[in-house]
Chain A
């Protein structure tokens, strides 16, 4: 069990590095994966990486507005997931697969 010292040793930069790593992984996932469901999850990952940044800054600056921002992000993430999943379902109904290349048909 780590002592509180260890926890206290975790500085802002650690959080930011972790957050940046998560964000980059998520972003690469969005760019590279072909399965839309996975891409959705990657987007969630990116959003949560950002959330982490907010929280970290909030903790280390002692101000609460960063945490409030997180609630907004979570709300929007929920809405985005609902809309995104709905599109995925309709794409699936049509093509029996949720590969990203089917989204090219949306181009005018």
Chain B
């Protein structure tokens, strides 16, 4: 089939699904709406596979399927086509989005079965996938921005899906507004790049990017990429704009899996990888990205250790894992960032769906203090979650091990890396192992703390099949990127598929003159895996064997523990420093400028008119003869004027 047709079907299939379910949102029942939406995404998935299959058939240097449907904007120098591109980078994204998307849609049929607005839910979900596809397939920053805004809208709609609950509606607004702050910076970045390079097309920008890295902080590439990165911190929940993501858990759990774990939040990472040559030209930006990424990874992981809501733990875990991706991108290891993006999509979607399955079984209970020993009630959910757990804490040979280890390795050895970044990464990994084990232990193992009136049960097949598929992907997903050290001891020396796939389209810092021994690679790997395993064991010991210990430790830490469990008071800080002063300032404007000056002026004018009117009004009595007299007087006046002149 020809490429533009495939591309059109790939893009429009979810949109058609959205239109049908959206138009019939009162009529379509859960099964019809759900299967319709799932089929729409499955069709996209098939198209993606066909396109990527064609891409694989092409020579490695020229793998690119570009389709331009029409000229979208033509104004003087600015020429933007509705152009979409599948290349090795977007190929990974569309496979993840449509593949994981199909599974999550399917899961949603079971999860949302009893909801009243189920057709509306699926319509939003399809619209989200449509926008996400535009985001990753668009061939210029502007087409990407369309999708970028679109997914933000869908995220808002789905977080506030149960909008009759005021807190949930507020969470949706918080997500939207926080994203808007990032989007403003994203726009500025686009302006800077367009002013300097005269184009917004990714491939042109990457071509035009300076080949000598900019040393100055005020260079166009540095400023432009920095602004784009601020946009990414909004969308991808990094310091300082990460605060919306934990609140976004107010949405239905499959939404958290699809939007707030697997796809949308990775858009920022994807954008950086897309513009890799431009970011490489701006080492100052990359340094900031790496530091922010590492800081986010550590900070979010530490908050994750203190949370009691199963979805909040996973949300902070997502923020932390996104931090790892930015850390990778920040040290110039764009391929590794994509690798972790992919494996994270598998295991985090799995764990969110698993938590959805648990919440479903517990009748909407999310507090892990009221769970425990769910292993025997929910064997499939437990075993798949178990795989996800092993993947995220980085145990070989599960998916997360390969990608996370590669990130840590690059953080240490890349010319842009630093041992401190590596240390932060390891610290994050240790905390990740701790909070994930804690989550496993409190939810599935140990003694049951389930209230008597709740009877947990395994979820229906519609929900467990996606879990099983994602569980398998969490095992094998990492095998696409096996590093040299491990490959050398494996039979057949499996190649690093992902590196070969992405290598030709990425401009990464040259490794010439940088030599690191394989021994060192093994040593670093051993340190991080060993520490993570130790941390997991400690957490297991704490929460299964002696549940009293963590409480004692928390008490002995006192204020530190309280600070962390209150999320470092960042929300309060934002309220105190930015939001409340802004509200106070606005209120002052309202009371003193709007009411006192603007309103008063208009009232004055109105009163003037009214006063004048009440004088003139006395003339209009309705007495016809009086009117006739006025006419007569007028005639006399005119005549006397004419005659006297």
Instruction: Decide if A27 touches B625 in the complex (CB within 8 Å).
Output: no
- B620-643 vs A, CB cutoff 8 Å, 1 = contact: the mask equals 111111001100100000000000
Interface residues in B600-638 by Cβ distance below 8 A to A read 620-625, 628-629, 632
Instruction: Decide if B628 touches A104 in the complex (CB within 8 Å).
Output: no
Instruction: Decide if B622 touches A104 in the complex (CB within 8 Å).
Output: yes
Chain A contacts of B623 at CB under 8 A?
Answer: 100-101, 104
Known contacts: A27-B632, A31-B632. The answer to whether A104 contacts B625 by CB under 8 A is: no
Instruction: Decide if B625 touches A100 in the complex (CB within 8 Å).
Output: yes
Among A31, A105, A106, A107, the residue within 8 A (CB) of B625 is A31
Question: Which chain A residue shows the least CB distance to B623?
Answer: A104
Instruction: Decide if B621 touches A104 in the complex (CB within 8 Å).
Output: yes
Instruction: Decide if B628 touches A103 in the complex (CB within 8 Å).
Output: no
A38 to chain B, nearest CB (A): 12
B621 to chain A, nearest CB (A): 7
Question: Which chain A residue shows the least CB distance to B629?
Answer: A31
Instruction: Decide if B622 touches A30 in the complex (CB within 8 Å).
Output: no
Separation of A12 and B623 alpha carbons in the complex (Å): 37
Any B CB within 8 A of the CB of A1: no
Separation of A80 and B621 alpha carbons in the complex (Å): 24
B642 to chain A, nearest CB (A): 16
A55 to chain B, nearest CB (A): 21
- A64-108 vs B, CB cutoff 8 Å, 1 = contact: the mask equals 000000000000000000000000000000000000110111110
Among A32, A101, A105, A107, the residue within 8 A (CB) of B620 is A107
Question: Which chain B residue shows the least CB distance to A101?
Answer: B623
Question: Which chain B residue shows the least CB distance to A105?
Answer: B622
Question: Which chain B residue shows the least CB distance to A32?
Answer: B625
Interface residues in B273-317 by Cβ distance below 8 A to A read none
Instruction: Decide if B624 touches A103 in the complex (CB within 8 Å).
Output: yes
Chain B contacts of A100 at CB under 8 A?
Answer: 623-625
Residue among A32, A106, A107 with max Cβ neighbours from chain B (10 Å): A107
Separation of A53 and B376 alpha carbons in the complex (Å): 116
Chain B contacts of A106 at CB under 8 A?
Answer: 622
Instruction: Decide if B629 touches A103 in the complex (CB within 8 Å).
Output: no
Chain A contacts of B624 at CB under 8 A?
Answer: 100, 103-104
Question: Which chain A residue shows the least CB distance to B635?
Answer: A27
B623 to chain A, nearest CB (A): 6
Instruction: Decide if A30 touches B625 in the complex (CB within 8 Å).
Output: yes
Chain B contacts of A30 at CB under 8 A?
Answer: 625, 628
Separation of A100 and B628 alpha carbons in the complex (Å): 12
Separation of A104 and B624 alpha carbons in the complex (Å): 7
**Count class of interface residues, chain B:** under 10
Chain A contacts of B622 at CB under 8 A?
Answer: 103-107
Separation of A31 and B629 alpha carbons in the complex (Å): 6
Count how many chain A residues have C-beta atoms less than 8 Å from C-beta atoms of the other chain: 11
Chain B contacts of A31 at CB under 8 A?
Answer: 625, 628-629, 632
Separation of A31 and B632 alpha carbons in the complex (Å): 9
Residue among B622, B624, B629, B632 with max Cβ neighbours from chain A (10 Å): B624
Residue among B621, B623, B625 with max Cβ neighbours from chain A (10 Å): B625
Chain A contacts of B621 at CB under 8 A?
Answer: 104, 107
Question: Which chain A residue shows the least CB distance to B622?
Answer: A107
A54 to chain B, nearest CB (A): 17
A37 to chain B, nearest CB (A): 14
A107 to chain B, nearest CB (A): 3
Separation of A94 and B606 alpha carbons in the complex (Å): 40
Chain A contacts of B620 at CB under 8 A?
Answer: 107
A49 to chain B, nearest CB (A): 13
- A21-47 vs B, CB cutoff 8 Å, 1 = contact: the mask equals 000000100111000000000000000
Question: Which chain A residue shows the least CB distance to B628?
Answer: A30
A94 to chain B, nearest CB (A): 16
Question: Which chain A residue shows the least CB distance to B624?
Answer: A103
B308 to chain A, nearest CB (A): 70
Separation of A105 and B621 alpha carbons in the complex (Å): 10
Chain B contacts of A27 at CB under 8 A?
Answer: 628, 632
A85 to chain B, nearest CB (A): 16
Separation of A32 and B632 alpha carbons in the complex (Å): 13
Separation of A27 and B634 alpha carbons in the complex (Å): 13
Chain A contacts of B625 at CB under 8 A?
Answer: 30-32, 100
A26 to chain B, nearest CB (A): 11
Separation of A31 and B624 alpha carbons in the complex (Å): 9
Separation of A107 and B628 alpha carbons in the complex (Å): 15
Separation of A100 and B626 alpha carbons in the complex (Å): 11
B613 to chain A, nearest CB (A): 14
A68 to chain B, nearest CB (A): 24
B120 to chain A, nearest CB (A): 50
A76 to chain B, nearest CB (A): 17
Chain A contacts of B629 at CB under 8 A?
Answer: 31
A5 to chain B, nearest CB (A): 33
Separation of A9 and B622 alpha carbons in the complex (Å): 47
Separation of A100 and B620 alpha carbons in the complex (Å): 16
Question: Which chain A residue shows the least CB distance to B625?
Answer: A31
B130 to chain A, nearest CB (A): 56
A36 to chain B, nearest CB (A): 9
B635 to chain A, nearest CB (A): 9
Separation of A23 and B625 alpha carbons in the complex (Å): 16
A58 to chain B, nearest CB (A): 22
Separation of A54 and B620 alpha carbons in the complex (Å): 34
Separation of A100 and B625 alpha carbons in the complex (Å): 8
Separation of A103 and B626 alpha carbons in the complex (Å): 12
Chain B contacts of A107 at CB under 8 A?
Answer: 620-622
Separation of A107 and B617 alpha carbons in the complex (Å): 12
Chain B contacts of A32 at CB under 8 A?
Answer: 625
Chain B contacts of A104 at CB under 8 A?
Answer: 621-624
- B37-53 vs A, CB cutoff 8 Å, 1 = contact: the mask equals 00000000000000000
Separation of A106 and B628 alpha carbons in the complex (Å): 15
A106 to chain B, nearest CB (A): 7
Separation of A32 and B629 alpha carbons in the complex (Å): 10
Separation of A92 and B8 alpha carbons in the complex (Å): 76
A79 to chain B, nearest CB (A): 19
- B173-193 vs A, CB cutoff 8 Å, 1 = contact: the mask equals 000000000000000000000
Question: Which chain A residue shows the least CB distance to B620?
Answer: A107
5 A-B pairs within 8 Å (CB atoms) are namely: A27-B632, A31-B629, A103-B622, A104-B622, A104-B623
Known: A100-B624, A101-B623. 19 other contacts (CB 8 A): A27-B628, A27-B632, A30-B625, A31-B625, A31-B628, A31-B629, A31-B632, A32-B625, A100-B625, A103-B622, A103-B624, A104-B621, A104-B622, A104-B623, A104-B624, A105-B622, A106-B622, A107-B621, A107-B622
Nearest 3 A/B pairs, CB to CB:
A107-B622, A104-B622, A103-B624
